[in-house]
Amino acid sequence: MKTMIERKTDNSRFFEVLPRLASIFLIVLFTTVVNAQNVTMVGILPSEKEAVEDFSVRAGLGSATDEYLSPNEYNGFSIGIKLDRMSRRNEKKMFCYSKNRSSLLFCDMKNEAGNGVQLEVAGSVVHVWETPLLHYKYYDLLVGPSVCGSIDALYNLRNSNNPANVHGMLAAGLEFDNLFRFKVGRLPIALNASFNMPFTGIFFVPEYNLPYYLLFEERLYGKTIHFMNPFNVTCLYNDVAFFFPVGKNQLSLSMSMDCTVHNLGGNATVISHCLFGLGYVHRFEHKYNGR
Amino acid sequence: MRKTIIKNMIAVAVLLCFSFCSCQQLEAIKDCYPNTPQGNFEALWNIMDTHYCFFELKQRDYGVDWDEVHDRYKTLIDDKMSDLSLFEVLSNMLGELKDGHVNLYGKYDVGRNWTWKTDYPSNLSPEIRERYLGDDYNIAASGCFYTILSDNIGYLVIESFSGSIPDSKLDAILNWFSICNGMIIDIRGNGGGILTEAEKVASRFTEEKILCGYVKYKKGPGRNDFSKPEPVFVKPAKDRLRWQKPVAVLVNRECFSSANDFAVKMKALPGTALFGDRTGGGGGLPFSSELPNGWSVRFSSAPMFDADMNDIEGGIDPDYSVSLSENDRAKGIDSLIETARKWINDMILNP
């Protein structure tokens, strides 16, 4: 078509995603060259018969472009909570770490022109089974499969006929955890760099112009459930957290980034968040299979 | 430690490869337009080109060639033009489609083409209608009034489907009319609203599930990328009062969108007839999108059809074509109501 030639392709969005991806790379690289020092029991890694919970309150920025609602990018302020729970499971001579991550966030966004408001509520639950691939005195590399369920609802206050869109995902993926223990002066610090990428599963998003009215009232489901793979959905989660003791307690300072990019159903979608969190870490006794 | 670094870097490199593949794939598909008059013009034209559902119909009925429209209006766009001028040009471009569901929402105005109703007589006199309602009519909800006419026929006016008419209110109306021989539902001037409200009212007038039409939706950016037609039924309201006597529905050119859909549904039901003029249409479920400058655009995206697969975008014809004659108007008589009353009385005598 004539306009396909005349239309300008703006790659600015690609270059917006690029620094986020580059930062993931740099963070992982950084974590590998940190000079590790003495070992202490700080951090998210539990010892035998122990579980560790990190409950954090988070705030930061969010960005969403969902062509089902609007081709424009909406940006705004995000707040949320996150609970990481890690326990150790012993199976005969083998052991693995069982990790749960539940998060909920709310984002209030505006378009560039400042005359449109879009709200976002997103929740996810991830479960990971990780085994130590590398284990040193000051460093552990844990790798394992993950399953995740997430739902992301966007509500555009200007659209009267198609005001909302929901993206849902049930997927399997991989998680990497880089855990470092070192000291700054006399302060023992743990650093945990997590990286998760769901790469296969099912993804719910309505087809192109399928109104939710037809979906629910007339039960026209169309092709709303899609099989996802790394080439049609990119979903990344990266979290870097410092754990340090404060008196008898342990706190965490974290920065997490997530990005979901897909073109399923014919509408391009880019959703990303960058959140900073302050968490309270709780270690407690945990028995597995009564042992 | 060196092994760790290498392993980490390989893992990250693989993951980044996946990420870049997907991002680049997305960028190849996604088009961004600058926030300039030219960019907004191209964005609007493209949104309509890839999402609007009635190009074929508009070409057939009005000779609209959307590619030609692009070329013609592009010459009117100048990057130094004011917002007001741009709004006027873009609104006029959308106006070519002569679709009541196509609107441009700017800072100062809403771009629209209402020729579907303004080019025709309304066949409605609010003063005469008030005379029929009398002073002691009942109010069921906002814009929903009812009374019983002197010949024992229920008269229900639904001015809009924008607000909700609760089920309990519909029960109350049908209960009030239970002594009547028939009912007139006057939806003249009803510009539509919520489709489910129209369905809810229609579901009170059938005892069985009846095919009343079909609907398709756009499943891709091509102008003919539609899903297959899916049947739409009127289903009887469960565990609620339902009407089984004759029903006359009064319509005019101002019956649009969900009011048009209500007329389509009622026409498909037995014991029901439409009186008045052709309805205004609006047989496409609307969708909204946005231009780079933040102006909002609404357009039809899912075409609806009647039970015979005729499109209803241009409205539907009544069973009995009746106009509000000047003679009757001068006498304070509503020709449509009188014709409907006569039909109901005939139906009672000759069922």
Paired tokens of A160: 């009267």
User: Which of A255, A9, A60, A151 is CA-nearest to residue B28?
Assistant: A9
Any domain includes B48 = yes
User: What is the separation of C-alpha A1 from the centre of its chain, rounded to a whole number of angstroms?
Assistant: 39
Distance CA A91, CA A110 (A): 51
pLDDT per residue as tens digits for the range B265-295: 999 999 999 999 999 999 999 999 999 999 9
Query: Residue B260 domain-assigned?
Result: yes
- Please state, for a pLDDT cut of 90, what percent of chain B lies above it: 83
Residues B64 and B143 in one domain: no
Q: What is the pTM of this model?
A: 0.84
pLDDT, residue A135, reads 85
Counting one residue from chain A and one from chain B, the pairs whose CB atoms sit within 8 A come to 202
Q: How far is B162 from chain A (nearest CA, A)?
A: 12
**pLDDT digit of tens for each residue in chain A (291 aa)?**
333 334 344 445 555 666 776 676 666 544 544 443 333 477 888 887 788 999 999 999 999 999 999 999 999 999 999 999 999 877 666 678 899 999 999 999 999 999 999 999 999 999 999 998 888 888 989 999 999 999 999 999 998 889 999 999 999 999 999 999 888 888 889 999 999 999 899 999 999 999 998 888 888 887 899 999 988 898 999 999 999 988 878 999 999 999 999 988 889 999 999 999 999 998 888 766 655
Judgement on whether residues B106 and B175 belong to the same structural domain of the protein: no
Contact at CB, A161 and B42, closer than 8 angstroms: no
Asked if the C-beta of A289 comes within 8 angstroms of chain B's C-beta atoms, the answer is no
> pLDDT class for B345, splitting at 50, 70, 90?
very high
CB contact under 8 A, A113 and B35: yes
Q: Does residue B16 or residue B228 have the better pLDDT?
A: B228
Structure tokens given for B59: 């070409």
Nearest to A133 by CA among A171, A164, A179, A172: A179
Asked whether residue B151 falls in the same domain as residue B261, the answer is yes
This model of the complex carries an ipTM of: 0.85
B327 to chain A, any CB pair closer than 8 A? The answer is: no
Residues B275 and B156 occupy one common structural domain: yes
List, in order, residues 6 or more apart from B88 with CB less than 8 Å away: none
* CB of B279 closer than 8 Å to CB of B255: yes
Q: Is B7 on the interface with A (CB under 8 A)?
A: yes
What is the spatial distance between Cα B94 and Cα B112, in angstroms, rounded to a whole number?
A: 8
Domain contains B3:
no
Could you give the domains of chain A? 2-285 (2.40.128.100)
Nearest CA among B321, B330, B319, B315 for reference residue B119: B315
Q: Which helix (H) or strand (E) holds B344?
A: helix B335-349
Helices vs strands, H then E, count in chain A: 3, 11
**pLDDT value, residue A27:** 64
Identify the CA nearest to B252 among candidates B319, B157, B323, B192: B323
Which of A14, A161, A210 lies at the smallest CB-CB distance from B286?
Answer: A161
Q: How far apart are CA B33 and CA B31, in angstroms?
A: 7
- Cβ contacts of A30-34, under 8 Å, gap ≥ 24: A31/A178, A31/A180, A31/A191, A31/A193, A31/A240, A32/A178, A32/B1, A32/B4, A32/B5, A32/B8, A33/B5, A34/A180, A34/A182, A34/A191
All residues of chain A having their beta carbon less than 8 Å from the beta carbon of residue B196 are: 213, 217
Listed range (A22-26, B105-109, B138-142, B202-206) with the worst mean pLDDT: A22-26
B9 is a domain residue: no
Q: Verify whether the Cβ–Cβ distance A9 to B32 is below 8 Å.
A: yes
Residues B130 and B258 in one domain: yes
- A159 and B19 within 8 Å at the Cβ level: the answer is no
CB within 8 Å: A261 and B23: yes
The answer to whether residues B230 and B310 touch, using CB atoms and an 8 Å cutoff, is no
Tell me, what's the pLDDT at A39?
38
By the 8 A CB rule, do B237 and B245 touch? no
Residues B198 and B324 in one domain: yes
Please state, for a pLDDT cut of 70, what percent of chain B lies above it. Answer: 91
What is the average pLDDT value for chain B, to the nearest integer? 91
| Pair (B69, B132) in one structural domain | no
* pLDDT score of A32: 42
What total of structural domains would you count in chain B? 2
Q: Does B217 touch chain A (CB under 8 A)?
A: yes
**Quick check: B121 and B153 in contact, CB under 8 A?**
no
The whole-number pLDDT of residue B11 equals 55
Q: Which of A139, A45, A52, A136 is nearest to A96 (CA)?
A: A45
> Are A233 and A262 a contacting pair, CB within 8 Å?
yes
Which CATH number covers residue B154? 3.90.226.10
pLDDT of residue B17: 53
Q: How far is CA A79 from CA A21, A42, A60, in A?
A: 22, 26, 6
Q: What is the DSSP letter of B226?
A: B
Distance, in Å, from the CA atom of A243 to the CA atom of A245, rounded to the nearest integer, reads 7
Q: Tell me whether residue B165 is in a domain.
A: yes
Residues B335 and B200 in one domain: yes
Query: DSSP states of B92-136 as a string?
Result: HHHHTT--TT-EEE-SS-EE---HHHHTS-----HHHHHHHH-SS
Domain boundary among B66, B85, B116: B116
Whether residue B219 and residue A160 make contact (CB cut-off 8 A), yes or no, is: no
Question: Angle A172-A174-A176 (CA atoms, 0-180°, nearest 5)?
Answer: 155
- CA count, 13 A, side-chain hemisphere, B165: 32
Q: What is the residue type of B93? A: M
Residue B287 resides in a domain: no
Residue A2 in contact with partner chain B when CB distance is under 8 A: yes
Task: Give the 3-state secondary structure of residue A146.
Answer: strand
Q: How far is B59 from chain A (nearest CA, A)?
A: 18
Closest chain B residue to the Cα of A66, Cα to Cα: B289
pLDDT of amino acid B7: 59
Q: Which of A214, A233, A111, A88 is nearest to A170 (CA)?
A: A233
User: Which residues sit opposite A121 in a β-bridge?
Assistant: A106, A153
- pLDDT for B70-86, tens place per residue? 999 999 999 999 999 99
Rg, Å, chain A Cα set: 21
Task: For strands B320-321 and B272-276, give the pairing.
Answer: parallel
Residues of A in contact with B34 (CB under 8 A): 8, 10
Residue with tokens 């004011």, as numbered in its chain: B82
pLDDT score at A284? 85
Q: Which of the listed residues B98, B116, B134 is the one where a domain comes to its end?
A: B116
* Domain encompassing residue B324: 126-207+242-281+316-349
**Residue B74 is assigned to a structural domain of this protein:** yes
Predicted confidence at residue B174, as pLDDT, reads 96
Q: Answer yes or no: do B58 and B200 share one domain.
A: no
Residue B1 has a pLDDT of 55
Q: In the prediction, which pLDDT does A40 show?
A: 47
Residues 6+ apart with CB under 8 A from B179: B148, B152
Interchain contact A229–B (C-beta under 8 A)? no
Q: What pLDDT shows up at residue B27?
A: 54
Same domain, B82 and B132: no
- The residues that bridge with A175 in the sheet, in sequence order, are A144, A196
Task: Indicate whether B220 belongs to any domain.
Answer: no
User: Does one domain contain both B133 and B254?
Assistant: yes
pLDDT, position A93: 67
Residues B264 and B336 in one domain: yes
Q: What is the pLDDT of residue A12?
A: 55
Q: Which of A66, A134, A176, A209 to mutate: most B Cβ within 10 Å? A: A209
A3 touching chain B per CB within 8 A? yes
Of B53, B83, B116, the domain-final residue: B116
